[in-house]
Amino acid sequence: MKTASRILPVLLAATTLAHSQEESGSAFGQTTEPSAARILHPIPDGTPPPVTPPKPEYPIASREILSTKTHHQGGRNITIRQIKPIALPPPPAPAEPAALTEEFTQRLAEYREAHPRSGMLFLGATVYRPKDGPPRSHVLYWPEGGREITFWSSADFALIAGGIQSFADNEGRRHHIFMSWGTVDIDRMTELLAANGRTYLAPEIPHFPEGKASYQIIGQSPPAEHLAAIQALHDIYHNDHAKLLTAYQGREQARIEREAYLRANPPQPQNITLNYWRTEKPARQQKGESK
C-alpha cells in the first residue's frame, strides 16, 4: 500500500497541473477539447542551448592507483588505471508490488481518459527545389495501425522537420514527429549529371493552387482518421509559416557559422583516463544464472 500512497498524490498533482494549464489557455497544456491545431513547444531557431557546466572530476589519490597503462590512439593518450575498490552504497531493495485501491484505480482511469496517449507521426520526406518555383515535398507517412501513405505536399517539409517536434491537432490530440528528410536541388542535380553524360529524371510533381498549403494523395485514399494529423500539420504550416521560415533561416545561419568555426578551429583529440577496480567478492548471481 505504501507504493500506491506515494503515487496517488503525484498523479493528483499532475492532474491538477494539466487542468490548470487548460484553464489558463497554455499552449503547452494537453486537452481533448477541439481547438485550433498548434505547436506544443518553442520553435528551434538556431539559438545555442545554455552552456552545460562541466561535471566535477572525481579525484583519485596516487596511493589509490594500483597499475597504469597508457595507449596512444587517434592523436591522444588513453590511460587505463586500476584503482583500489571504492565503497559504493548498496542498491536499494526492490519495492514490493502494492495492491491498488479501488479509489486509485478509478482516479487513474479518469486521468488517462482526460490525458490520452500521444500519437507518433513517422514520416520520410524529400523536398524538391526547382530554380523557378516553390519547393514541393514528396512524403511517406506510416500511420499507427495502418498501411503506408504517400503524398505530395505544397508545404516545405524542411521547415517542418526542424521546426515542429510535437503538435496538437484540431481535436486536441497530441502528436510527436519522427522524420527523416533530405532536399534535392533539381537544377543543380540536372547540371551535375549532365556534366557526366547522364540525364536526371525529375519526378512528376503535381500542380498545387496558390494559397493555403495542401497535399495530394498518391494511390488509394486512406481512411480519414489517418489523415487528421497530416491535415493539422498543414494547417499549422499555413498559420505559422512566417515563424517557421524565420526559425529555419536562423537554424541554417547557425549551422553555417558553426561549420565555419569548426573549419577554422578543428577539434583536437582529448586525452582520456579510465579508472576501474575489481571486487574481491563476485557479484551476487541473479536467479536462473549459471555459475
Per-residue pLDDT, averaged over 164-189, amounts to 91
> pLDDT (tens digit, 9 = 90+) per residue, 106-145?
888 887 777 667 788 899 999 999 988 899 999 999 988 7
Query: What's the confidence (pLDDT) of residue 131?
Result: 84
* Strand order, beta sheet including 166-168: 38-39, 166-168, 174-185, 119-129, 136-142, 149-153, 215-218
Distance CA 189, CA 112 (A): 50
Domain ranges of the chain: 39-47+115-264, 62-87+268-276
Query: What's the confidence (pLDDT) of residue 1?
Result: 38
- φ and ψ of 178, to 5 deg: -120, 110
Q: How far is CA 272 from CA 56, 82, 85, 163, in A?
A: 15, 14, 20, 36
- Among 194, 189, 60, 175, smallest CA distance to 129 is for 189
Query: What's the confidence (pLDDT) of residue 290?
Result: 52
Query: What's the confidence (pLDDT) of residue 268?
Result: 92
> pLDDT (tens digit, 9 = 90+) per residue, 216-247?
999 988 888 888 999 999 999 999 999 999 99
pTM: 0.70
Provide the strand spans (E) within the chain.
38-39, 65-73, 76-83, 119-129, 136-142, 149-153, 166-168, 174-185, 215-218, 272-276
